[in-house]
């Protein structure tokens, strides 16, 4: 662990510079909340638009940020890894807000609170990603979670949505409890809560059983958040029950933040006991890939299918972390970036799937003949499905390439073979969607696609198809820089 | 640049087609003409490539090299092993586009786009010098082929396309892991470096198995061939042509380029295993072909049998075997494509593939009967057709290595005469008794344009195989030499070890 500057005392506003993005987002969110409260005749669409602008401004500030720093008595760290992951979180959040604009009303999300809560959740995620202390980690995590519990249950008169919100809350609270318990054990056995100090208190020889216990609880708590098997039970129900834009958000940004946390805690705090946490990560990875591949086959609901798909993809990302090396962390970083892009694209498509009379399409069977009626959407969705399978030359292949490369370097052959076979099985359910869209005859008409959804689809489709020649090289370089700063 | 232009020109054509909007016959025809233009241009360039290719050197030619990341680079180049597959692919594509006039009536534009993308992937796989990029092109062919069989295929197309996809995908992902391991061993995926890199023998064994999983399915070798008959039968004519003529050859190309060149010790160790599977393919699938009632299925099984000769030739590791295997692949590419095109001709007229539904074509379709005869003879391996040379060379090669293998393979030659000639008799000869066939028309101009060049090539290469053998000779020599050296070194080491 090499943190460049340690300025623990805040002497001037300028010394807060590394935290400017968070400050901007926090102040901006509060101001936006006040405006929305006092401006009675506001329109929720305008608030959402301002929220997107705020996210973009934060993103710009983040990218322009100067070098690495540790702030606030060492609880807040800004390094390449944090910047990279925060950029993903902000990008994911902004795009999800954008694609939920057109269908906010039918999902009961045409309230200003929706945008505000998403902003608060994003702020929480940024704090999580920058956490250098188990306390700030928890604060960020809870800010994120509490905002999302409310968002999940926002469609109050819908029994499925409230059930989803409640389920999410109960299981989320349980996982937070486990995480806290683990954190207290780690503190008890090392005497510090600071992530980059914990490593100094542990050596591979003198590791105590209590510390390992604490680590296991800590990792179990985070595994809940990334919904890795066996801590995934809430995911299908919540994904299915929550309004589709909210599901989209769940699938994208929080996964990135929690994964960043997972990488930082394991790679930094528990570096000296890599062998111990490696076993856990390998198990989570195999279980997630395997279960998702088989469980998704029987699903007919598109959102439920995407839930299992996201569980599977978390498993694949963990293949990279299993290696426990910088190459592996780089793989995770690339994987999450491509995963977020694909998720945004998939949900842009899902949000546009409506029958001619405007009722949303929820099951796979209803997509029959989409390629005849809406060739553009069908083509983009098919490309995304092929990319999720991991077929070259699409982006999803290069994501898998990076993580499996790291696993092979460390000689994790069994994990790698199980992983690629799981991806072969998972191809079955992705292909079923392509089959229904392309090989089956249409049974009904489909509604037109809103312009901004079409634009997002076209953009994502372009990136996914041309990944190798366009964003591939810069993204890999950025990920290497990010992983190197750990 | 030439290789990149040839590779990506079809993709450019697909992009152009993407911007054509509208529906109706006029748009379909415009799309066909555009696709034909791009494929003909690609074919012309690929022939020019063949003309420019210098057969006297073993070095890679037309090399391009753009590094991308640590592990992947955009590298292109051809040598005697790969150069001929590019014109083979490019020359057959216009034929595929031409068949779309008669046999494809729905979603014509999409059909052409998918085929053009497929052409880019196929040429790219043969032209690349980076193992990761090879994988990208090799695996990339699954997407268009999945759609071709699934959208434009016959009644049982969905089962067929799934089977095709899963057999290929499962085999190929295992190769992916082997490729990654090679990267960590050699520090690069540049094929030129890897060809000179000596992998330890015990590592070779595992890498060989990884590659074998992929190529044995692609080839396909018995018993991994189960996907092939169904995929062939259900695919539209163009799909069957490409599948038989090009996609199967990727397996053979992979065996020569990677398996025996990079893992000679393992290849030697497994050669008996491969011989047994090859013999099984030659004899068993020939017997299965004898009882088929569906023309396409019969030709599909005969493809498996012919690919048995190819694998047998490759794993002898000597000059004649590898030379014969390459020749057999080129020849089979032309002949099997032509046979599927011939089936397509009558299928477009009668809409059935049942052998029993036909008979007596010689009365009504003399030109068709002649073309079909040439291809049937080439399929049998009659001297004077291109089919003979490859079969003869591989038999000759295997005779030097293992007489028993040659003995059993000879049965395949006899059986192939059996099923091919019997098919010809039932379809072409006999009395024209069926009412439905009375009004059938002979080849029209478009069909003749497709088949005549293939007839000429089949006979030309039968009498004058030099263009193919000369282009490949230097590189084949090198591969065989390296193989012999590696085996020799290994057996010397074994002798030395035994001596101690």
What are the pLDDT tens digits along chain B (500 aa)?
889 999 999 999 999 998 888 888 888 889 899 999 999 999 999 999 999 988 888 888 888 888 777 778 888 999 988 899 999 999 999 999 998 887 888 888 889 999 999 999 999 999 999 999 999 999 999 999 999 999 998 888 899 999 999 999 998 999 999 999 999 988 888 888 888 888 888 899 999 999 999 999 998 888 888 899 899 989 998 999 999 999 999 999 999 999 999 999 999 889 999 999 999 989 999 999 889 888 889 999 999 999 999 999 999 988 899 999 999 999 999 999 999 999 888 888 888 888 888 887 887 888 888 898 999 999 988 888 888 898 889 989 998 888 898 899 888 888 888 898 888 888 888 777 777 777 778 888 888 888 999 999 999 998 998 888 888 888 898 988 888 888 877 666 666 666 55
- C-alpha pair distances (Å), B427 with each of B78, B244, B332, B353, B442: 42, 21, 21, 11, 14
Reported confidence tier of residue A5, pLDDT bands at 50, 70, 90: very low
Share of chain A above pLDDT 90, in %: 66
Alpha carbon of B66: minimum distance to chain A alpha carbons (Å): 11
Check residue A194 and give left, alpha or beta (phi > 0: left; psi -120 to 50: alpha): beta
Specify the pLDDT at position B432.
76
Burial tier of B352 (Cβ tally within 10 Å: 0-12, 13-18, 19+): middle
Q: Classify residue B246 by its DSSP letter.
A: I
SS3 B294: strand
Q: Residue A152 and residue A164: Cα distance in Å, rounded?
A: 7
Flag if B183 and A405 touch (Cβ within 8 Å): yes
Q: CA torsion B210→B216→B222→B225, rounded to 10°?
A: 120
Chain B interface residues (partner A, CB cutoff 8 A): 68-69, 71-72, 110, 132, 135-137, 139-140, 142-143, 146-147, 150-151, 157-158, 162, 165-166, 169-170, 173-174, 176-177, 180-181, 183-184
Establish if A381 touches chain B: CB-CB under 8 angstroms: no
SS3 B450: helix
Alpha carbon of A221: minimum distance to chain B alpha carbons (Å): 32
Alpha carbon of B173: minimum distance to chain A alpha carbons (Å): 6
Instruction: Write out chain B residues lying below 8 Å of A408, CB-based.
Output: 177, 180-181, 183-184
Share of chain A above pLDDT 70, in %: 98
Flag if B136 and A397 touch (Cβ within 8 Å): yes
Instruction: Write out chain A residues lying below 8 Å of B136, CB-based.
Output: 392-393, 397, 468
Does residue A11 have a pLDDT over 70? no
Flag if B69 and A476 touch (Cβ within 8 Å): yes
Flag if B180 and A404 touch (Cβ within 8 Å): yes
Establish if A414 touches chain B: CB-CB under 8 angstroms: no
- C-alpha pair distances (Å), B493 with each of A267, B259, B496: 45, 22, 5
Alpha carbon of A329: minimum distance to chain B alpha carbons (Å): 16
pTM of the predicted protein model: 0.92
Please tell me which residue of chain A has the smallest CA distance to B150.
A439
- Minimum-distance CB partner of B136 among A393, A421, A428: A393
Instruction: Write out chain B residues lying below 8 Å of A409, CB-based.
Output: 180, 184
Instruction: Write out chain B residues lying below 8 Å of A405, CB-based.
Output: 71, 180, 183-184
Specify the pLDDT at position B494.
63
Specify the pLDDT at position A351.
92
A153 and A162 Cβ atoms separated by less than 8 Å: yes
Flag if A401 and B184 touch (Cβ within 8 Å): no
B106-112 LR contacts (CB < 8 Å, sep 24+): B106/B152, B107/B151, B107/B152, B108/B28, B108/B31, B108/B32, B109/B17, B109/B20, B109/B27, B109/B28, B109/B31, B110/A375, B110/B151, B111/B148, B111/B151, B111/B152, B111/B236, B111/B238, B112/B14, B112/B17, B112/B31, B112/B32, B112/B34, B112/B35
Average pLDDT of chain A to the nearest whole number = 90
The per-residue pLDDT for range A352-410, each reduced to its tens digit, is 999 988 888 989 999 998 988 898 999 999 999 999 999 988 999 999 999 999 999 99
Flag if B157 and A439 touch (Cβ within 8 Å): yes
Reported confidence tier of residue A126, pLDDT bands at 50, 70, 90: very high
- Minimum-distance CB partner of A420 among B151, B173, B183: B173
Alpha carbon of A48: minimum distance to chain B alpha carbons (Å): 35
Please tell me which residue of chain B has the smallest CA distance to A414.
B177
Flag if B136 and A424 touch (Cβ within 8 Å): no
Name the H helices within A323-412. Answer: 326-352, 370-373, 375-389, 395-409
Instruction: Write out chain B residues lying below 8 Å of A435, CB-based.
Output: 150, 158
Instruction: Write out chain A residues lying below 8 Å of B181, CB-based.
Output: 408
Alpha carbon of B184: minimum distance to chain A alpha carbons (Å): 6
The per-residue pLDDT for range A176-208, each reduced to its tens digit, is 999 999 999 999 988 888 888 888 888 777 778
Please tell me which residue of chain B has the smallest CA distance to A376.
B18
Q: Residue A161 and residue A154: Cα distance in Å, rounded?
A: 7
Name the H helices within B23-68. Answer: 25-52
Alpha carbon of A357: minimum distance to chain B alpha carbons (Å): 25
Establish if A472 touches chain B: CB-CB under 8 angstroms: yes
- Minimum-distance CB partner of B169 among A424, A468, A477: A424
Chains A, B: CB contacts within 8 A come to: 80
- C-alpha pair distances (Å), A61 with each of A52, A254, B484: 14, 21, 63
A388 and A309 Cβ atoms separated by less than 8 Å: yes
- Minimum-distance CB partner of A438 among B150, B165, B180: B150
Specify the pLDDT at position A209.
87
Flag if A408 and B137 touch (Cβ within 8 Å): no
Specify the pLDDT at position A3.
43
B465 and B386 Cβ atoms separated by less than 8 Å: yes
Specify the pLDDT at position A331.
94
Specify the pLDDT at position B11.
92
Q: Residue A255 and residue B249: Cα distance in Å, rounded?
A: 43
A206 and A136 Cβ atoms separated by less than 8 Å: no
What is the value of ipTM here, to two decimals? 0.90
The per-residue pLDDT for range A60-83, each reduced to its tens digit, is 999 887 778 888 888 899 999 999
- What are the two backbone dihedrals, phi and then psi, of residue B82, each rounded to the nearest 5 degrees? -100, -20
- Mean per-residue pLDDT, A105-128: 90
Q: Which residues, 6 or more positions from B24, have their beta carbon under 8 angstroms from its beta carbon?
A: none
């Amino acid at each position: 662990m090499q943190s460049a500057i340690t300025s623990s005392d805040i002497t001037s506003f300028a010394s807060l510079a590394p935290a400017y993005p968070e400050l901007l987002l926090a102040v901006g969110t509060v101001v936006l909340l006040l405006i929305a409260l006092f401006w009675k005749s506001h329109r929720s669409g305008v608030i959402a638009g301002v929220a997107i602008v705020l996210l973009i401004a934060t993103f710009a500030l983040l990218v322009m940020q100067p070098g690495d720093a540790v702030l606030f008595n060492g609880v807040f760290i800004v390094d390449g890894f944090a910047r990279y992951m925060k950029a993903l979180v902000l990008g994911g959040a902004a795009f999800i807000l954008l694609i939920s604009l057109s269908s906010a009303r039918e999902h009961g999300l045409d309230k200003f609170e929706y945008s505000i809560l998403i902003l608060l959740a994003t702020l929480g995620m940024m704090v999580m990603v920058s956490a250098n202390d188990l306390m700030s980690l928890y604060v960020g995590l809870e800010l994120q979670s509490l905002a999302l519990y409310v968002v999940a249950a926002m469609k109050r008169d819908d029994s499925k949505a409230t059930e989803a919100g409640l389920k999410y809350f109960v299981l989320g609270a349980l996982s937070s409890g486990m995480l806290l318990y683990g954190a207290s054990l780690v503190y008890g056995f090392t005497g510090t809560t600071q992530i980059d100090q914990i490593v100094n208190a542990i050596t591979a020889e003198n590791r105590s059983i209590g510390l390992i216990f604490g680590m296991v609880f800590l990792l179990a708590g985070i595994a809940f958040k990334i919904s890795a098997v066996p801590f995934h039970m809430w995911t299908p129900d919540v994904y299915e029950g929550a309004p589709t834009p909210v599901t989209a958000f769940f699938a994208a940004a929080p996964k990135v933040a929690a994964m960043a946390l997972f990488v930082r805690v394991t790679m930094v705090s528990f570096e000296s006991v890599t062998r111990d946490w490696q076993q856990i990560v390998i198990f989570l990875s195999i279980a997630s890939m395997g279960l998702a591949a088989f469980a998704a086959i029987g699903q007919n609901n598109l959102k439920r299918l995407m839930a299992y798909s996201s569980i599977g993809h978390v498993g694949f990302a963990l293949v990279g972390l299993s290696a426990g090396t910088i190459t592996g962390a780089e793989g995770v970083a690339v994987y999450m970036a491509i995963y977020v892009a694909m998720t945004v694209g998939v949900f842009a498509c899902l949000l546009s799937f409506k029958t001619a009379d405007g009722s949303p399409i929820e099951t796979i069977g209803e997509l029959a003949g989409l390629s005849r009626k809406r060739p553009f959407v069908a083509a983009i969705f098919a490309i995304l499905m092929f990319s999720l399978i991991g077929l070259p030359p699409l982006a999803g292949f290069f994501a898998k390439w990076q993580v499996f490369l790291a696993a092979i370097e460390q000689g994790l052959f069994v994990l790698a073979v199980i992983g690629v076979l799981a991806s072969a099985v998972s191809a079955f359910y992705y292909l079923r969607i392509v089959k229904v869209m392309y090989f089956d005859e249409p049974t009904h008409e489909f509604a037109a696609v809103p312009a901004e959804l079409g634009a997002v689809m076209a953009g994502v489709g372009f990136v996914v198809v041309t990944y190798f020649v366009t964003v591939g090289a810069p993204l890999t370089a950025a990920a290497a820089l990010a992983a190197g700063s750990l | 640049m030439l290789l990149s232009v040839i590779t990506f020109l079809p993709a450019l054509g697909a992009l152009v087609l993407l911007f054509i909007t509208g529906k109706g016959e006029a748009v379909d025809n415009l799309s066909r003409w555009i696709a034909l233009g791009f494929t003909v241009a690609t074919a012309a360039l690929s022939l020019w490539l063949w003309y420019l290719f210098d057969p006297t050197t073993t070095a890679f030619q037309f090399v391009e090299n753009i590094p991308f990341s640590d592990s992947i680079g955009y590298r292109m180049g051809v040598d005697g092993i790969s150069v001929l597959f590019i014109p083979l692919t490019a020359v057959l594509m216009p034929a595929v586009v031409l068949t779309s006039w008669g046999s494809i009536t729905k979603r014509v534009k999409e059909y052409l786009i998918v085929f053009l993308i497929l052409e880019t992937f196929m040429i790219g796989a043969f032209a690349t010098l980076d193992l990761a990029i090879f994988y990208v092109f090799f695996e990339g062919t699954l997407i268009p082929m999945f759609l071709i069989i699934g959208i434009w295929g016959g009644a049982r197309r969905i089962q067929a396309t799934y089977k095709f996809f899963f057999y290929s995908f499962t085999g190929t992902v295992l190769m992916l892991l082997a490729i990654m391991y090679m990267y960590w061993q050699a520090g690069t995926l540049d094929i030129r470096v890897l060809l000179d890199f000596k992998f330890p023998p015990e590592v070779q064994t595992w890498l060989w198995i990884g590659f074998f999983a992929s190529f044995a399915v692609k080839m396909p070798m018995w018993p991994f061939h189960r996907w092939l008959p169904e995929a062939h039968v259900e695919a539209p004519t163009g799909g069957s042509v490409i599948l038989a003529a090009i996609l199967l050859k990727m397996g053979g190309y992979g065996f020569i380029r990677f398996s025996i060149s990079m893992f000679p010790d393992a290849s030697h160790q497994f050669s008996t295993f491969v011989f047994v599977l090859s013999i099984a393919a030659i004899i068993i699938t020939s017997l299965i072909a004898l009882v088929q009632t569906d023309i396409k299925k019969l030709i599909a099984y005969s493809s498996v049998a012919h690919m048995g000769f190819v694998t047998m030739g490759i794993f002898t590791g000597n000059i004649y075997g590898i030379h014969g295997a390459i020749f057999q692949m080129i020849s089979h590419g032309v002949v099997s494509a032509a046979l599927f095109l011939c089936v397509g001709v009558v299928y477009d007229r009668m809409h059935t593939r049942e052998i029993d539904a036909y008979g007596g074509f010689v009365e009504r379709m003399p030109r068709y009967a002649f073309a079909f005869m040439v291809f049937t003879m080439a399929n049998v391996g009659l001297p004077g057709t291109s089919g003979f040379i490859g079969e003869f060379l591989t038999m000759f090669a295997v005779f030097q290595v293992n007489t028993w293998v040659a003995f059993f393979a000879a049965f395949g030659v006899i059986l192939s005469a059996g099923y091919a000639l019997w098919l010809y008799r039932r379809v072409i000869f006999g009395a024209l008794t069926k009412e439905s066939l009375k009004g059938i028309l002979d080849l029209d101009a478009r069909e003749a344009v497709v088949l005549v060049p293939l007839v000429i090539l089949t006979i030309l290469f039968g009498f004058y195989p030099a263009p193919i053998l000369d282009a490949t000779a230097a590189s084949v020599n090198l591969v065989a030499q390296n193989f012999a050296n590696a085996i020799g070194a290994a057996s010397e080491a074994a002798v030395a070890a035994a001596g101690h």
